[in-house]
Amino acid sequence: MDDKKQNIDSKEHLLDALDASENTDEDLKELLSDPDNIQDIRLLQDCRKCFIREDSSLGGEPEIAWGKFLRKQKKNSKRVSYRLWMAVVVAAACLVLVWGGLRFYVFSEPKGGLEFVAYSPDSTSVEVMLSTSSGRQIILSDSRMDSLLENSGKVLRQEKMLTYVNEEQMADPEMHTLTTCGGSFYQFCLSDGTCVWLNAGSRLIYPNFFKGDQREVELYGEGFFRVARDTLRPFRVKSGDIVTEVLGTEFNLRNYLREDTHVTLLQGCVKVKNESSFEEVVIRPGEDAFLLENGSFEVKKVDTDNYSLWTQGYFYFDNESMLSVMRELGRWYNVKVVFRNDSMMDVKLHFWAQRDQPIEKALELLNSVSHAKVSYEEHIIFVD
C-alpha cells in the first residue's frame, strides 16, 4: 500500500512539474523513459482531440483548457486509482508535447538532426546498363543492342533476356558488368547455364565465358542464383569479404550494407566464408547465414520467401523491420526515404505487394497494415 501511495505521490509531483510555466525536455524524458508510459502515450495521443472539443467554449485556447483539466484532476486526486493517475499523467504529457510545441520523438515530427535518412538513391537513372572491359557501354533497352554486342562474344537476346553461349576460345574472356538502377531488375543466363536475377540498385561482374577450373563472379547489392551443376568447377560468388561457393543450387545473396548481409539457401548446399575473419559455415535448404559485427555468421531457419519472391515481382516481408521494408521500397522506386519518427524503424510487420504498381498504391497498402503514417511528397517517402 505504501509503494502504491509513493507511486501516486510521484505522479502528482510530475503533474506539478508539467504544470510549471517552463517545462524542460528532461521532465518529459523522465516520464517517457518507461516503455509502458510510451505505449500509453501512443494509445492516448488522440485524447487531445476529444479534450479540445470538450473545451470548445474556451475558444480553442490550449493553456486555459489545460489549466482547467489539471485543476479538475488535482481536486479529485484522492479518489482516483493509481492506474487513472497514470492515464492522467500520460494525457498531460500528450497535451504538453502537442500544445507546448516540444518536438519529442515519440509521436511528433522531428526536425533537423532528428530526421534519419534510411535510403538515398545514387542516381535518377532507371536504365539497365551493360559495360565491358573493352570500354563499351550498352543500354539494354537500346534498339541497337544486338549490333553493339557483336564483338562481345556470343550473346543472344531472347524475350528481353541476355543469354551467353559457352564458346571457350584461346583468347582470354572479356569481363562484363551488368548494372541495375532503381525501379529495375534483370534476368540473364551466364555461359555455363547459370541463371541470375539481379535486383534493383545492384551490379554483377562476370566473364562472357568461363575458362579454366573455376566459375567466379562478383556481386554488389542483391542477386538470386540458379547455378548450373558442374562437379569439376565450383561456382563462386564474391561480395565484399563474403565468398559463397556451390556446385549447383539455388540461393539468394544480399549485401547492400555490411550490417544487412545474408546468404539464403533454397536448394542444395553452399559454403559461406568471410575472408577477413576466416569464419566459415555450411548452410542447408531453408537456412540463412547472417553476417554478425564480429565477422562470424548466425545461421537460422527462415521463410525463404522473404529473400526470393522479389524475383517473381513481389515485395514480401514476414516479420521484418520497418527500416528494412522502407529501404527496399526506396531502392525499388528510386526515391529518398526519411524517418521523422525513428521509434518506428525497429517495428516489425508483415507486408506484401506487387512491385509493378505505383508507389502511391504500395504506400496505401503499407499504411493499412502498420501503425506508422507513411506519406510521399516531392519524390521523398516520409515515415512519421
pLDDT attached to residue 32: 57
Cα–Cα distance, 74 to 19 (Å, whole number): 11
Closest CA to 211 of 174, 257, 176: 174
pLDDT attached to residue 171: 75
Tell me whether strands 215-226 and 235-239 are parallel, antiparallel or unpaired.
parallel
Set of cell numbers at residue 269:
548446399
Rg of the Cα atoms in the chain = 28
Averages of pLDDT over runs of 10 residues in the chain (384 residues) are 47 46 55 55 45 44 54 50 48 46 39 75 80 87 66 63 74 90 90 95 94 93 96 94 94 94 96 95 96 96 95 94 95 95 92 94 92 92 95
The amino acid present at 103, given as its one-letter code, is: R
Q: How far is CA 262 from the centre of its chain?
A: 14
pLDDT attached to residue 7: 47
pLDDT attached to residue 147: 60
Q: Residue 339 burial by CB count (10 A; 0-12/13-18/19+): exposed, middle or buried?
A: buried
Cell 550498352 maps to which residue? 138
Phi-psi region of 32 (alpha: psi -120 to 50; beta: other; left: phi over 0): alpha
Cα–Cα distance, 202 to 185 (Å, whole number): 8
The amino acid present at 237, given as its one-letter code, is: V
Is residue 15 within 8 A of residue 73, CB to CB? The reply is yes
Residue 114 per-residue DSSP state? G
